[in-house]
Amino acid sequence: MKIAVVNSFYSNSQPSGENIAVADQVAALREFGHEVRVFGRESPAEEAGIRYKAKSAVTVAGFAGPNPTQELAAFDPQIVHVHNLFPNWSSNWLQEWSTKLVTTLHNYRAVCSAATLFRSGASCTECLDSGSLAAVRHKCYRSSALATVPLAYATRDRGSHFMPATQAQSLITLNRTAQELFQSIYPAVKVERVPNFVNPSKVLNAESRLGWVYAGRLTAEKGIQELLQNWPLGARLEIYGGGDLEDLVARLAAERTDITHHGLRPRDEVVSALGRANGLILPSLWSEGIPTIAIEALSMGTPLVVSDRVAAAAELTAGDSGVVFSPTDGLSYQPALDSVLATAGAMGLRAVNLFETQYGRDVWLERINRIYAEIHLNDRR
C-alpha cells in the first residue's frame, strides 16, 4: 500500500517523543512492506521570534501557507496519514484527500490553542465550555494575544472547524480519555485508540537498579517544579531535559545532594539511565496522554510512577504494573516509591508484560493496518 505521512516535526534542538514516534512508525510500515513517503517540515529552534509564531499560527488556522498537494498528487497515495500540521503546514488542502485521510491527534490542538487543556496550574476547558475567545484573553499561545487569535479561530465552536479532524475518515487517539472526548466532538468520524509503540530494550533485574528518573520537558505543565518541591529526602533522582524552567530546576537541584540535573542529553544516554532506574516519574499536571518515554520505560521493565492528572494513568499502570500518585501532595511521593520497591522486581515484570500486550510494534501494526485497509476498501467503492 502507498502511504503518505504528513508531519510538522519539532526542532531537533528540543528532543520530542512525537518526532520519535512518527519516525518509528514510518520505519515499521516500511519494514512491513508498505511504500511510505514522508512529507515533513521542521520547526525552527525555540528562539524563533513572535513574528514567526504569529505567521505559523495563521498557517495552521488554514488561511494560507505551505501544503503538499502537488507532491501528494505525484505520489498518488492510497492513504494520507496526518500527524501534526502545526506550525508549518496549512490545512486548507485536506478536503481534496478526505476519502483517504487518517489523522493522529497527539494532543488537544483541535480544541485548545495551547494544545494541553491546561492553564495557570490547573486543567482548563473554558474554550470548550464557553468559546475560544477565552484563549485570546488568556494569551494561551506563547503568552501572545496576537499569536493566539488564529489558533482560537481554528478551534472555534468546540473544534468543529478543525479540518484535520473533520475531514478524516478515522481519528487516532493515544488513550481512552482523548478517544471519548473527540468522539463526542466528532460523532460522524470514527475515533480509535491506537497508542504509539517503541522498539523493546534490554530488561535489567531489580538488583541492578538504583534511584529514579524524570525525563521530559522542564515546563510548568509537566509538574517538574512540584516534583522538586516534594521529592523525598534521600531518594536519588536523575533529571533529564530542557525547557522554560531549566534555570529554576538547575538551581533547586544544586541545593540537594540527592538530585542531579543533567540537562538535554542524547536519547541513548537517557534510555540507558532509564533502564538502570527503579522507576520513571511522570508528575504531569495536565491531561497528558501516553508519552513515548513512558512506553520506553515499560519495555525495559522500569515501572511508572504516574500523576493522577495524566489521562492515561490507569492504562499505563494496568495490572499493577505501576503506581499512581498526586504530584501536588508531598505525602503521596514516598508511599508511591515504596510500593514499587516492595515488589522486589515483580512490578517491573508486569510492566514488560503490559508493554508486550499493548505497546509493542506488532500490536501497533495490526491495529493500524486494519484501519488503513478499511479506509482503502471504502475509498474504492
Whether 104 shows a pLDDT value over 70: the answer reads yes
**Interval 233-258: pLDDT, tens:** 999 999 999 999 999 999 999 999 99
pLDDT of residue 302: 96
Mean pLDDT of the region 325-338: 97
Instruction: Give the C-alpha separation, 28 to 59, whole Å.
Output: 30
Whether 46 shows a pLDDT value over 80: the answer reads no
Instruction: Give the C-alpha separation, 211 to 234, whole Å.
Output: 10
Mean pLDDT of the region 143-166: 91
**Interval 271-307: pLDDT, tens:** 999 999 999 999 999 999 889 999 999 999 999 999 9
Domains of the chain: 2-197+361-380 (3.40.50), 206-358 (3.40.50.2000)
- Reported confidence tier of residue 66, pLDDT bands at 50, 70, 90: confident
Mean pLDDT of the region 344-362: 95
pLDDT of residue 307: 97
Length of the chain: 381
* Contacts (Cβ under 8 Å, ≥6 apart) of 284: 221, 222, 223, 307, 309, 310, 327
Listed range (165-179, 193-207, 249-263, 345-359) with the worst mean pLDDT: 193-207
